[in-house]
Chain A
Amino acid sequence: MVQLRPRVSRTPASASAMVDEGQPASEEEAEHGLLLGQPSSGAAAEPLQDDEEGDSEFDEDEAPEELTFASAQAEAREEERRVRETVRRDKALLKEKRKRREELFIEQKKRKLLPDTVLEKLTTAPQTTIKKSPGKLKEVILQKKNEECEKGSDSKKTKEKVQKVQSVGHNKSYLAVRLKDQDLRDSRQEAAKAFIQNCLYGPGTNRTTVNKFLSLDNKRLPVKKAAAQFLNNAWGTQRKQNAKRFKRRWMVRRMKTSKN
């Protein structure tokens, strides 16, 4: 008769390996070892020595332990259930955490916004047609903007500007304007000015100084005259300042010595 070594129940391939996508909890991994090359349990995982010991304990005549299918199945199910429970618990915990963070953000954002009353007024203010204030050069027509939006004009600015100017409060002595729009407009104007400056006076254009330009005539006269020179008042400002300071100090010293 062949001697069968007692076999420790081998758990089936862990449920977590099939259920979990990407977040195996650290304990599970350590427990199950999951790599195919290394069975975490079973007879092959145990060192040979134990076998020897086990062997000596039992007699050769004893029959192996009887393991009914039902008990094994029950155990397996038990294990599965446990694993599933842990997974569910972990997920729930994560969800809770995320929810709490979201609420915190909403709270913070709410604190940054204007009070509710002002927001209400902004959204329900009547669509004014033409607003003309004396001395103000900028006029905005909301109707026209809405028209433009309908016509689907391509300029991105219209969409931003729809909420641009609406009178807030009962006193219409001021206009609320979004600063972002003003910056955009200014930057576009600056870009346009830079473009034309570049076209006319930038590199590649054949420009010369006024000095040289006026000197051309002097050089072509029958009696040649010197080139036109313009006074450069900015020359040597540091030197002149130093000289002035020195003179003042010297005067003071002179006064002191002359007094004594």
Chain B
Amino acid sequence: MGEFKVHRVRFFNYVPSGIRCVAYNNQSNRLAVSRTDGTVEIYNLSANYFQEKFFPGHESRATEALCWAKGQRLFSAGLNGEIIEYDLQALNIKYAMDAFGGPIWSMAASPSGSQLLVGCEDGSVKLFQITPGKIQFERNFDRQKSRILSLSWRPSGTHIAAGSIDYISVFDVKSGSAIHKMLVDRQYMGVSKRKCIIWGVAFLSDGTVISVDSAGKVQFWDSATGTLVKNHLIANADVQSIAVSDQEDSFVVGTAEGTVFHFQLVSVTSNSSEKQWVRTKPFQHHTHDVRAVAHSPTALISGGTDTHLVIRPLMEKVEVKNYDAALRKITFPHRRLISCSKKKQLLLFQFAHHLELWQLGSTVATGKFLVPGKNGDTLPLSKDADHLLHLKTKGPENIICSCISPCGSWIAYSTASRFFLYRLSYERDNISLQRVSKMPAFLRSALQILFSEDSAKLFVASNQGSLHIIRLLEGSFKHLHTFQPQSGTVESMCLLAVSPDGNWLAASGTSAGVHVYNVKNLKLHCTVPAYNFPVTALAIAPSTNNLVIAHSDQQVFEYSIPDKQYTEWSRTIQKQGFHHLWLQRDTPITHISFHLKRPMHILLHDAYMFCIIDKSLPLPNDKTLLYNPLPPKNESDVIRRRTAHAFKISKIYKPLLFMDLLDERTLVAVERPLDDIIAQLPPPIKKKKFGT
């Protein structure tokens, strides 16, 4: 290992956007999450809650509703009045259909999955038929006076409850007419000037309609008679979301104060058959409004303005009480947003609509007259970090991916419809940028961009499954080759890795194994066998050309490309198994890098730790101490720890967004403290605490 100087970077002003809608799909155990900037992310809950796919956002697409329909089809609707269907295979938008009702506030798929109901700004409820290729407008229901903010189907598909402002309507699906109009009190036991907004409705199969509104009430209505059955006041602020489980014995509501309440149907006395709804558990995992909740068979999922996605497994539903039953909070992205140019010590930060280029600061070199600092010392900066470039993207679309070449003279980024390549030149103190025009159209919507080590080639993985190789010349480019996907599959290549000598290119898709291509011959060399968990990070070691793959279940494999088989070390560790604490980590490994002079070291990091794996040392078994929380006490302690086992883990820098080895003695760690993110969120509800 040795000693390193670490650049601790905290000027990456990354603020994720708040979560607006959440939709759970039972068959595939996947969660679709849409954010306020229009991004839709798909999390695979069975693959250790890993974000496997995402659709980049768009400025005009403010999604207000998200739902799954029959056959794994995902639809979203927003304030621009359009219903959008997403293509989960090709990772793009299939089509956007205008509903002609003005902004769309709510959407619900029928229990059979073949019809889609949409509630619009002008008060109309529109029914669409889901055909194999498209959706088709069927008819309008009776038009209501104010905007329809929430919709729910009865499980039998015969009735619909629509929540609006100050009232709830119950429609009959066959005739399309409103049967009941239930007026909601503006305030629990009182009058108020503020209108009561029904944020969510849920229709149960026995005819009960549950509504949550902005006065903080949860109300139970009987849809047959149109009367109020029960009234609960649970919060002083709005209750903004509701989700019912499939068995209809429990539901979850989220409030604007950040509390999530769990209601369950329990019997009145222990042996009676009569049941009633009781508020059982409150959970306070959020600080801001909880705008979306979902109920999976075993867990409660909530997301809101504070950008965390919280998955809380319910203890009574979980079979095995192991680490799987713990709370999961997903805050940091599962992809890399930062790229680094090692030669020039530059960092490129990717935001939603712009890129920032920073030059790292430097400190006075420690010569032989200066005493080298002790472990943990902070060295003063002689030259501050410099913000060199702020590059704004044109157009309303978000940036999907970006990269800077290792020599620091090329920047490339891609949005959903265009690809941009810039040439940078440094003259003394100035930096000038020149755009390479007329990029070919097949490069757009790239999921991953990578430059080769000598910055002569550009590798682009597009969402159609093809890999493009572009040769970079002085002011222009030349398209060298395209690797097409295997016949029959349209699988997007999400991650790329190139070997430092430039011979090998590894690409991983969402399900098939990792493909390794020979760049010199432009042919497929071999394929690493598929593993049932998605790949989270890929890298190729410099001299040995070993491909190191990290999966979302925290397994790390090492595959030798020239030999076309797993290495000895990889087989050993698979046989022994990883330490149980290693496997219980929450966040996926997002970056792997290597030391040039020490081929036995692998450096990898996730959001809360970074680790150097020394392959020459023995592997830890379950009984050894994996983490060393305290710094070493004395010299013998250091030596003992150095030779104890192979996994050297440090949790000093967290939360880490990026960590890399700049040269032999320097590391760069980009941190993003949670407080800095919270400082830039919208205002939360005021809470009055005794004594303040």
Report which A residues bind B (CB closer than 8 A). Answer: 130, 132, 135, 137-141, 144-145, 147-148, 151, 153-155, 157-158, 161, 185, 188-189, 192-193, 195, 199-201, 204-214, 216, 219-220, 228, 230
Contact = CB atoms under 8 A, between A and B. Distances in A.
Nearest to A213: B684
Given A204-B194, A206-B236, A138 B137 contact: no
A208 B58 CA distance: 30
Contacts of B444: 135
B103 A192 contact: yes
Contact of B98 (A140, A153, A193, A216): A140
Nearest to B104: A192
A199 B197 contact: yes
Contact of B124 (A155, A212, A214): A155
Contacts of A219: 689, 691-692
Nearest to B685: A206
A207 B685 CA distance: 4
Contact of A148 (B100, B675, B683): B100
B139 A151 contact: yes
Contacts of B683: 201, 207-210, 213
B136 A144 contact: yes
Given A137-B93, A144-B137, A192-B79, A155 B684 contact: no
Interface string B166-198: 000000000000000000000000000110010
B100 A161 contact: yes
A249 B493 CA distance: 57
Contacts of A208: 683-687
Contacts of A216: 687, 689, 692
B644 to A, nearest CB: 37
Nearest to A188: B102
26 contacts: A135-B444, A137-B82, A138-B98, A139-B98, A151-B140, A154-B143, A155-B100, A155-B101, A157-B100, A161-B100, A185-B81, A192-B105, A192-B121, A193-B79, A200-B238, A200-B256, A200-B289, A206-B236, A207-B685, A207-B686, A208-B683, A212-B686, A213-B683, A219-B692, A220-B691, A228-B675
Contact of A154 (B97, B124, B136): B124
Contacts of A153: 100, 124, 140
Interface centre among B62, B79, B237 (most CB of A within 10 A): B79
A155 B214 contact: no
Nearest to A204: B194
The 6 closest A-B pairs by CB, nearest first: A208-B686, A192-B103, A207-B683, A135-B417, A219-B692, A206-B686
Contacts of B96: 137-139
B532 to A, nearest CB: 34
B679 interface: yes
B287 interface: yes
Given A139-B96, A192-B121, A210-B684, 15 more contacts: A137-B82, A139-B98, A148-B100, A153-B100, A154-B140, A155-B101, A155-B122, A185-B80, A192-B79, A192-B103, A195-B147, A209-B683, A210-B681, A213-B287, A228-B675
A216 B692 CA distance: 7
Nearest to B126: A153
A138 B124 contact: no
Contacts of B318: none
B678 interface: yes
A211 B681 CA distance: 10
Contacts of B61: 137
B372 interface: no
Contacts of B691: 219-220
Given A151-B139, A210-B684, A220-B692, A192 B678 contact: no
Contacts of B632: none
A171 B155 CA distance: 49
B19 to A, nearest CB: 15
Contacts of A214: 675, 678
B330 to A, nearest CB: 21
B361 interface: no
B682 interface: yes
A153 B98 CA distance: 15
B95 interface: yes
B590 to A, nearest CB: 28
A76 to B, nearest CB: 69
Contact of B100 (A130, A145, A193, A200): A145
Nearest to A138: B96
Nearest to A230: B679
**Of B60, B80, B136, which is in contact with the most chain A CB atoms at under 10 Å from its CB?**
B80
Interface in B391-406: none
Q: Which of B84, B101, B105 has the most chain A CB atoms closer than 10 A to its own CB?
A: B101
Nearest to B396: A137
Nearest to A185: B81
A84 B382 CA distance: 107
Contacts of B143: 154
A192 B102 contact: yes
Nearest to A135: B417
A141 B97 contact: yes
Nearest to B690: A220
Contacts of A195: 147
Nearest to B98: A140
B210 to A, nearest CB: 21
B84, B102, B256: most-surrounded residue (chain A CB, <10 A):
B102
B526 to A, nearest CB: 34
B137 A155 contact: no
Nearest to A218: B692
Contacts of B140: 151, 153-154
Given A135-B417, A148-B100, A208-B684, A193 B95 contact: no
A135 to B, nearest CB: 4
A133 to B, nearest CB: 11
A216 to B, nearest CB: 6
Contacts of B681: 210
A46 B422 CA distance: 104
Contacts of B97: 139, 141
A62 to B, nearest CB: 93
Contacts of A193: 62, 79
Contacts of B124: 153-155
Given A137-B93, A137-B96, A219-B692, A157 B684 contact: no
A131 to B, nearest CB: 10
Contacts of A212: 686
A229 to B, nearest CB: 10
Contacts of B147: 192, 195
Interface string B653-679: 000000000000000000000010011
A150 B62 CA distance: 31
Contacts of B214: 199
A193 B103 CA distance: 9
A40 to B, nearest CB: 67
B462 to A, nearest CB: 13
Contacts of A161: 100
